[in-house]
Amino acid sequence: MSYDNSDLVRAFPASVQDDMLRVVAMLPQLSIGTETYVVSVERETLFIPYRIYHDPALIDRARLTPLQEQLLDCLLTRHCSGFIRERYLRNIVSSDHRWIAPFVIQLAGEYVIEILEVIRNNVDKLSPRLYREFLNDNPYLSLSLSSESSVTGTATIAGTPREDCGDRPTFR
């Protein structure tokens, strides 16, 4: 599969495309492709990567605006390392941008207990309206909670495959 960092721009709505182009320009180019999952945000179809493999230590955040940092943080929640996904989730979980919801919802279905704890510990900061609208706009996503989890329940998003870093390097 051919892959280019510019493909990541499609993970966000047109309203932030100029900022995303700046973020993408800061990423080291990788040749590792990824599948995407499709969601609707602000009546636009977005293609969010299941996993990315960029080393956060190689990304110069100093020249990014706060909005661009949030866009980058969203992308890094799709990293192959659960440690990195958790770290950058902490930066976005309380944000009320509509385009953040699909990144948080996807993480709720990944069964990494530390990530579920971050979501649980910030549930009072999540906008019920924003998440309700997102799930209503994406009816094929079924978010269900199981009482068997030791956190607040195990969230499962139907139809979303899981992928690890496998033999690819991880970054902490």
Q: Note whether 97 and 71 are within 8 A (CB).
A: no
**pTM, 2 dp:** 0.81
At 38 the three-state DSSP class reads: strand
Question: What is the structure's pLDDT at 167?
Answer: 37
Going from N- to C-terminal start, the domains of the chain cover 5-157
The values of phi and psi at residue 45, to 5°, are -90, 125
pLDDT in tens, 82-115: 999 999 999 999 999 999 999 999 999 888 899 9
Distance from C-alpha of 83 to C-alpha of 100, rounded to nearest angstrom: 19
Outline where DSSP puts E strands in 11-108. Answer: 36-41, 44-49
Distance of CA 63 to the CA centre of its chain: 22
Given 3-state DSSP classes, what are the helix, strand and coil percentages for the chain, each rounded to the nearest 5? 45, 15, 40
User: What does the pLDDT profile of the chain (172 residues) look like in tens digits?
Assistant: 446 788 899 999 999 999 999 999 999 877 577 889 999 998 999 999 999 999 999 999 999 999 999 999 999 999 999 999 999 999 999 999 999 999 999 999 888 899 999 999 999 999 999 999 999 999 887 554 333 333 333 333 333 333 444 433 332 2
Question: What is the structure's pLDDT at 75?
Answer: 96
Question: What is the structure's pLDDT at 166?
Answer: 45
Length of the chain in residues, anyone? 172
